[in-house]
Amino acid sequence: MGALLPVKLVKSNRLTNLEKQQFSLSKEISEIIVGLTLGDLHIRKRKLGVNPCLVFSQGLVHKDYLLHLYEKFQLYCPQEPQLYNSPLHKKTGISYSSMYFQTYSLPCFTALHALFYPSGKKIVPANIADLFTPLSLSYWIADDGNFNKINKVVTLATHSFSLDEVSLLVGVLNKWDLKCRVHKDKNGYVITIPFKSLPVLQKLLKPHMPSMMQYKIGL
C-alpha cells in the first residue's frame, strides 16, 4: 500500500502524529529509496527529532530527473521543489544552481534510516542483497552512475564506502551476471561494469530506469 493520506493533507506544513502514522511505503517506493540512498539521497534525522525525512537534491542540469523524483514522492512532501543558488565559489567565483525538496519527517522512513545510518554515518547494510532489486539499481545508477562513451563502461561512484562495503555491493551486482570490478582512485573505490556486461545491464534496467537518465547506461 502507498501513503494513505488524502492529497489535501499532504500540502499542510504540519501533520499531527495520527496523520503521520497513516503514511506507508509501497514496494516500489521502498526499492527506489534503497537505490537512491546508495547514491545522493540523504535520510536525515535531526538530533532531537523522532522521525527521519528524505532530502533530495540535484544540479540544475538534472532538473527533469529531480522533478521525476518529486512526482514519485510528492504525497510525502509539504512543498514543491525549490531552487537554490550557492554562495560564490572561492576559487571559481561562480554560483552553482541546484534544485531540492524534502519530505515530511515520518515513521515510515525509520526502518530504512536505521539500516543505512545505524551510527549516524551512511553505510551499506549487511543485508543489502535482500533489499536490492533491478529497480534499486536503476535509481542508484541514475544518481551516481557515469557512462564512458569511449570505453562503453558504466562506473558507480562508491567513494564514501569502505572496500568491504564496495565488495559487498559487487557481490550483489554479480548475481545478475554483471562482471563488475573494483578500482581504487585517489578518493576511494569505484565500481566498473564492463563493456561485455553492457547488453545485460541495458536489458535488465530499461523497463525500470527513468527515461531522462537512460543515457547513463548507453541508451
Its sign, for the CA torsion 78, 83, 87, 92, is positive
Amino acid at 44: R
Q: What's the pLDDT score for residue 23?
A: 96
pLDDT score of 85: 76
Q: What is the pLDDT of residues 10-62, one digit of tens each?
A: 455 689 999 999 999 999 999 999 999 999 999 999 887 789 999 999 998 99
pLDDT for 93: 67
pLDDT in tens, 87-142: 766 677 676 788 999 999 999 999 999 999 999 999 999 999 999 999 999 999 99
- Integer Cα distance of 1 and 22 in angstroms: 11
* 7-116 against 128-217: fold identical: yes
Q: What is the mean pLDDT of residues 78-87?
A: 84
Taken as a whole, the chain contains a residue count of: 219
pLDDT of residue 102: 96
Predicted pLDDT at 89: 65
Residue 75 has pLDDT above 80, yes or no: yes
Q: What is the pLDDT of residue 4?
A: 36
Percent of the chain with pLDDT over 70: 90
Q: Write the burial class of residue 218 (CB in 10 Å: 0-12 exposed, 13-18 middle, 19+ buried).
A: middle
Give me the half-sphere count of Cα atoms (radius 13 Å) on the Cβ side of residue 212: 10
- Give the pLDDT band (50/70/90) at residue 7: very low
Domain 7-116 has CATH 3.10.28.10: yes
* DSSP code, position 195: G
* pLDDT given at position 46: 85
Per-chain mean pLDDT for the chain: 90
Domain boundaries, the chain: 7-116, 128-217
Band (pLDDT 50/70/90 cuts) for residue 9 is very low
Identify the weakest region by mean pLDDT among 63-77, 82-96, 158-172, 199-213: 82-96
Give the integer Cα–Cα distance in Å for 219 and 214: 5
Which residue's entry shows cell 530506469? 209
pLDDT for position 1:
33
Cell of 6: 488524502
Task: Count CB atoms within 10 A of the CB of residue 124.
Answer: 22
DSSP 26-42: -HHHHHHHHHHHHTT-E
Q: Which CATH number fits domain 128-217: 3.40.630.90, 3.10.28.10, 3.30.1490.20, 3.40.50.300?
A: 3.10.28.10
Percent of the chain with pLDDT over 90: 80
